[in-house]
Amino acid sequence: MSASTESPKALRAKVRAARRGEFAGRVVVEGARLIAEAIAQEARLDLLVVSPRLRTRPLPPAQVAAIEGFPGAVAVTDPEMERLSGGPSHQGTLALVRLPAWTPADCLRGAGWLVALDGVQDAANLGGIARAALAFGASGIWYREGGVRPENPRAYRAAAGAFLRLPIAPVQDLAGELSALSWPVYVAAARGAPVDGSWPPPGRAALVFGSEGQGSSVAIGQTVAIPMLEGTESLNVAQAAAILLWRAGVTLQAGKDFV
């Protein structure tokens, strides 16, 4: 590690600008494990700041060494890290991680289903959906412009590194792109045809999830719902995505269990 060539004030200004979304395709990451995983994934880090508190974290020594030994890592004091992170609960490191520049075509190159997000607004839901999509073999995620983006720090944290491994890309005309795909399209809804043990049929498809309050505006394909006990509240979109993506993944795996 080395001392910063920038003043503490300049470092704070850079981090604030990144939090405001002024650096496209980059996200402020503060969890020590998340930063260690980003390094292991060979993600590009435009900034990595480290303070002495990092050595008090319950991390494997190899991860601490990877963070402290990262080329260009900047050493600061714990009080300065507190100012950078905006509070006393920091973990002794902060990074500006550059996300892969995925395209919509990249999201189709795998063997799994496509996830399409129509205006999801909650950052934790976006991250949870991405985490489930990666776990259950989705090929990628399209998201409509206007919803929450993967550059959101809360979304990145909830995704647990999925944004570095699973293609995710914005599209402007979600319904139009889905129509052009010529795949079966299933639109998840609180009220729709409840899926049963025969769903889904074999083959790839697109699975659409709408915004938390308004649902989806996509008017093509088949509406599907998760069977629930009468009188219970609907699931949030990330929970619903995990259930439906598990079913889709099991179907593509010909009934084999995930291990």
Report the side by side order of strands in the sheet with 114-118.
168-171, 140-144, 114-118, 206-210, 185-194, 222-225
For the ranges 47-61, 112-126, 203-217, 241-255, the lowest mean pLDDT is seen at 241-255
What value does the mean pLDDT take over residues 163-173?
96
Cα gap 172→145, rounded to integer Å: 6
User: Which carries the bigger pLDDT value, residue 128 or residue 8?
Assistant: 128
For the ranges 134-143, 161-170, 209-218, the lowest mean pLDDT is seen at 209-218
What value does the mean pLDDT take over residues 215-233?
86
pLDDT at residue 219 in the model: 83
pLDDT at residue 255 in the model: 47
Give 79-109 pLDDT, tens digit per residue: 999 999 988 999 999 999 999 999 999 999 9
User: Which carries the bigger pLDDT value, residue 259 or residue 19?
Assistant: 19
Q: Is the pLDDT of residue 258 over 60?
A: no
What value does the mean pLDDT take over residues 208-231?
87
What value does the mean pLDDT take over residues 216-237?
87
Give 106-133 pLDDT, tens digit per residue: 999 988 999 999 999 999 999 999 999 9
For the entire predicted model, the pTM comes to 0.91
Q: Which two tokens stand for residue 165?
A: 């491994």
Give 33-80 pLDDT, tens digit per residue: 999 999 999 999 999 999 999 999 999 999 999 999 999 999 999 999
pLDDT at residue 3 in the model: 65
Q: Which two tokens stand for residue 84?
A: 């950078």
For the ranges 97-101, 177-181, 231-235, 241-245, the lowest mean pLDDT is seen at 231-235
pLDDT at residue 254 in the model: 52
Domains of the chain, earliest start first: 2-98 (3.30.1330.30), 106-252 (3.40.1280.10)
User: Which carries the bigger pLDDT value, residue 24 or residue 141?
Assistant: 141
